[in-house]
């Protein structure tokens, strides 16, 4: 349940960055000096040449990241039913820092004081459309899977009747033990596509999400197998058929 704090921080911080980038893109305003200083500290040259659709791609990805955080916050508050599990203080602090860093990473993909001057309709490319469609598809499945997990612990009236673990079924649970983790990976892949596919920095973020979610999925998969003798043997841990 303390993951809720991560999404509160993400909604506030990334929403703040989104507003500033939106104002820079559509109103020609410069980003605050402290953001430009952060760019310099992270190795981004604010005077570098603008490359095609960098500004619009970053704005779109930052919007997707913010919407993702808003949805996950809403799910933590009104959908998920949490047990009494705890989180390590190191993991908690890292999580808070991660959601601050990931939005800053998006912002650092564009020059801080250069606008490309193109019309919005010209800026929309094929990879933006594919990335957004994939994002919506993965987000819908992640929400469905989280709702399935929550429904295992509540009655039809919506009252919590149990905090114990049960075997989920339906949607992507028929293929993997942790489809919500798989959907999280797909969401970050969709952002990589939206950034133009060739953005090496964001693919490093995707690799982090892959290893992080894969580890959690394997541990969860082993828990199911150990505690439920009738657990479906055809299910994989994280990625279908893998």
212-222: average pLDDT: 97
Which residues lie across from 176 on neighbouring strands? 236
Give the pLDDT confidence score for residue 136 in this predicted structure: 98
pLDDT at residue 163 tops 50:
yes
pLDDT at residue 98 tops 80:
yes
Give the pLDDT confidence score for residue 111 in this predicted structure: 67
pLDDT at residue 29 tops 90:
no
Q: Which residues contact 6 (CB under 8 A, 6 or more apart)?
A: 95, 96, 98, 99
Confidence label for 157 from pLDDT (cuts 50, 70 and 90): confident
Write the DSSP assignment of the chain as a string of letters. Answer: -THHHHHHHHHHHHHHHHHHHHHHHHH-PPPPHHHHHHHHHTT--TTSPP-TTHHHHHHHHHHHHHHHHHHHHHHHHHT----S----HHHHHHHHHHHHHHHHHHHTTS-SS------HHHH--HHHHHHHHHHHHHHHHHHHHHHHHHHTTB-TTS-B---S-----SGGGGTBS-HHHHHHHHHHHHHHHHTTS--HHHHHHHHHHHHHHHHHHHHHHHHHHHH-TT--TT-BSSSTT-
Give the pLDDT confidence score for residue 116 in this predicted structure: 47
111-126: average pLDDT: 61
**For the ranges 19-33, 81-95, 130-144, 197-211, which has the lowest average pLDDT?**
19-33
Question: Chain centroid to CA 47: how far?
Answer: 30
161-174: average pLDDT: 94
Confidence label for 113 from pLDDT (cuts 50, 70 and 90): low
pLDDT at residue 52 tops 60:
no
Give the pLDDT confidence score for residue 45 in this predicted structure: 56
What's the Cα-to-Cα distance from 22 to each of 11, 85, 105, 200, rounded to whole Å? Answer: 16, 39, 16, 24
73-95: average pLDDT: 94
Give the pLDDT confidence score for residue 46 in this predicted structure: 47
Confidence label for 40 from pLDDT (cuts 50, 70 and 90): confident
| Angstrom distance (rounded) from CA 239 to CA 189 | 14
Confidence label for 117 from pLDDT (cuts 50, 70 and 90): very low
pLDDT at residue 47 tops 80:
no
26-40: average pLDDT: 77
pLDDT at residue 120 tops 80:
no
Greater model confidence, 209 or 104: 209
Give the pLDDT confidence score for residue 44 in this predicted structure: 60
181-188: average pLDDT: 98
Give the pLDDT confidence score for residue 56 in this predicted structure: 86
- The total of other beta-carbon atoms located within 10 Å of residue 178's CB is 27
């Amino acid at each position: 349940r303390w993951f809720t704090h991560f999404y509160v921080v993400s909604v506030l911080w990334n929403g703040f960055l989104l507003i500033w980038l939106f104002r820079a893109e559509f109103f020609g305003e410069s980003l605050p000096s402290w953001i430009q200083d952060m760019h310099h500290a992270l190795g981004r040259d604010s005077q570098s040449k603008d490359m095609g659709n960098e500004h619009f791609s970053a704005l779109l990805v930052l919007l997707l990241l913010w919407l993702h955080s808003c949805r996950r916050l809403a799910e933590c508050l009104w959908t998920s039913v949490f047990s009494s599990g705890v989180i390590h203080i190191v993991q908690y602090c890292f999580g808070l820092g991660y959601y601050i860093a990931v939005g800053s990473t998006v912002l650092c993909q564009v020059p801080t004081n250069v606008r490309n001057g193109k019309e919005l309709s010209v800026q929309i490319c094929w990879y933006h459309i594919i990335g957004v469609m994939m994002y919506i598809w993965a987000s819908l499945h992640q929400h469905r899977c989280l709702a399935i997990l929550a429904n295992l612990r509540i009655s039809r009236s919506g009252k919590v009747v149990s905090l114990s673990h049960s075997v989920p079924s339906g949607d992507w649970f028929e293929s993997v033990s942790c489809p919500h983790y798989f959907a999280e990976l797909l969401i970050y892949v969709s952002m990589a596509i939206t950034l133009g596919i060739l953005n090496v920095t964001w693919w490093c973020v995707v690799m982090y999400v892959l290893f992080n979610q894969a580890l959690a999925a394997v541990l969860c998969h082993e828990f199911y197998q150990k505690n439920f003798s009738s657990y479906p043997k055809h299910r994989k841990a994280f990625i279908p058929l893998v």
